[in-house]
Chain A
Amino acid sequence: AQSVAQPEDQVNVAEGNPLTVKCTYSVSGNPYLFWYVQYPNRGLQFLLKYITGDNLVKGSYGFEAEFNKSQTSFHLKKPSALVSDSALYFCAVRGYNTNAGKSTFGDGTTLTVKP
């Protein structure tokens, strides 16, 4: 079975400061890892993914994530937060061998960026 943990329900940062949203995963074999963002009453939008290769992945809106195989983590980061980054963030995992590419999502982390 595969699983995702987002240990923080809420992350608060000041505008201009760096932000980190944490994610750890469990999956058989090598993982595909994803980050999505959701604004209120909207669908999820894809931010970035890790498949293989470079452990530092760059995505949309200045976000990046670092894959750490030994710690089974895939933390989302941004060097300088914007108020407009305030949203709900989901980490998701899928194993190479998972039937039909079923993704498992974490429970989400609410990011609040204060001016």
Chain B
Amino acid sequence: DGGITQSPKYLFRKEGQNVTLSCEQNLNHDAMYWYRQDPGQGLRLIYYSQIVNDFQKGDIAEGYSVSREKKESFPLTVTSAQKNPTAFYLCASSITVTGGAAGELFFGEGSRLTVL
């Protein structure tokens, strides 16, 4: 089945450690996104990518990094510089949005990161 796979589903990290969350899609979508979800705050955009080897910062990019070496993959690294990393992280993809296309987002099942 086509979809988005995120791993791991649960992750625990000690303070000062970097962690990488995986996101893979087989929908042949050009655009991919990372969102952070905190209780009562909705979704906030961390990074997004419209095409391979290109990505842009979202609204809360500080303390995070990404790469887009393949169309199918968009991993997110939560660095030690992120002051409050405990959250639910959601990866999404959509058809290309250039030219005003209104593709809806397809989401993975999420990764819950807890800092101990």
Residues of B within 8 A of A100 (CB): 31, 48, 50, 56, 97-98
> Would you list which residues of chain A between 66 and 115 have a CB under 8 Å from chain B?
90, 92, 94, 96-97, 99-103, 105-108
CB contact under 8 A between A102 and B105, given known A43-B90, A43-B110, A96-B100: no
On whether the beta carbons of B112 and A94 are closer than 8 Å, the reply is no
Return A3 CB to nearest CB of chain B, in Å.
Answer: 11
Bound form: Cα–Cα A105–B90 in Å: 13
> Would you list which residues of chain B between 83 and 108 have a CB under 8 Å from chain A?
88, 90, 92, 94, 97-98, 100-108
Residues of A within 8 A of B56 (CB): 99-100
Residue B61 lies at the interface, judged by CB distance under 8 Å to chain A: no
Bound form: Cα–Cα A36–B98 in Å: 22
Return B88 CB to nearest CB of chain A, in Å.
Answer: 8
Residues of B within 8 A of A55 (CB): none
Residues of B within 8 A of A107 (CB): 40-42
Residues of A within 8 A of B106 (CB): 46
Which residue in B4, B42, B97 is a CB contact (below 8 Å) of A90?
Answer: B42
> Would you list which residues of chain B between 69 and 90 have a CB under 8 Å from chain A?
88, 90
Return B83 CB to nearest CB of chain A, in Å.
Answer: 22
Residues of B within 8 A of A108 (CB): 40, 42
Bound form: Cα–Cα A101–B94 in Å: 9
Q: Provide 15 A-B residue pairs closer than 8 Å at the C-beta atoms, listed in order of the A residue.
A: A42-B110, A43-B4, A43-B109, A46-B104, A46-B105, A49-B104, A94-B102, A100-B97, A100-B98, A101-B103, A102-B45, A102-B48, A103-B105, A107-B40, A107-B42
* Cβ-closest 9 pairs across A and B: A101-B97, A43-B107, A32-B102, A107-B42, A105-B43, A46-B104, A105-B42, A44-B107, A43-B109
